[in-house]
Amino acid sequence: MRPTFEAWANGMLGVIIFSGSLPATRVAVGSFSPLFLTSARAVIAALLAAALLLALRQTRPARADLWSLAVTAAGVVIGFPLLTALALQHITSARSIVFIGLLPLATALFGVLRGGERPAPLFWLFSIAGSATVAAFALTGGGGASPAGDLLMIAAVLVCGLGYAEGAVLSRRLGGWQVISWALLLALPAMAAIMLAAWPENFGAIATPAWIGLAYVSVFSMLVGFVFWYRGLALGGIASIGQLQLLQPFFGLALAAILLGEPVAWTMVAATGLVVAFVGLARRFA
């Protein structure tokens, strides 16, 4: 599968939107518990998705698609948001963001296992090189290392890679925005129950930035970003378009510096150049 400009454009828009997720989560988790934040964002996005599905009169997915939708929901609706929210209680957003550079490799691996894709050997070479660059940047970039936070981020990357790959395979039949919409609705009963159980005692104590963070991760991270991302993966291939995620840590670090005032080391610029080169090479051999 040779990616088209439309595939790359949709994938890049998805990456840019997702880049703000961890900084927004970092702000929101300062006032909300990880359980409430994870469940509330899913409930809000599910209600928006339901309105969209009804307005456009989308047919229900087949029974055979329910397992794939459940895997997608477990990865990107529940697993990744919860694990990152927990991780951000131990590490800074800047440190958590660079772990996202490992997502392309995780997505490609699950693309092979679940999507039947077979990238060229050189693809793996450049993909691993790009991920290693991001990993090295994470290890040398400071930002308050924590074994618990790092392990939670690695777990988040793995479940997210599975959710991306599973959703991308399903989106070839259902469409990108339809997949995330149905996955959100499938998870809605459980997420609504968790949200009520984790309901904050005093909403008056919630800071305004936390509300903005919740709104962003609910509307953009949980729904709008997936509309573009899954379409890009479906059009251009999971392994190939997934390499755009290597750029996400650096977009996110820029936002963390601007919005949260976190320092950005000069090594970010050097690492960005290397990663962009590896993305281009991996794209050529995907």
Give every residue of the chain whose pLDDT is below 50, as ranges: none
Q: How far is residue 26's CA from residue 10's CA, in Å, rounded to a whole number?
A: 26
pLDDT at residue number 277: 78
Q: Which amino acid is at 63?
A: R
Q: What is the pLDDT of residue 85?
A: 93
How many beta carbons lie within 10 A of that of residue 58, not counting itself?
Answer: 15
Predicted pLDDT at 263: 66
- In sequence order, the 6+-apart residues with CB closer than 8 A to the CB of 32 are 40, 200, 206, 210, 214
pLDDT at 78: 95
| C-alpha closest to that of 245 among 165, 150, 136, 139 | 165
* Biggest distance spanned by C-alpha atoms of the chain: 56
pLDDT tens per residue across span 22-34: 889 989 998 999 9
pLDDT at 49: 93
Q: What's the pTM value of the predicted model, to 2 decimals?
A: 0.82
Tokens coding 191: 């997420």
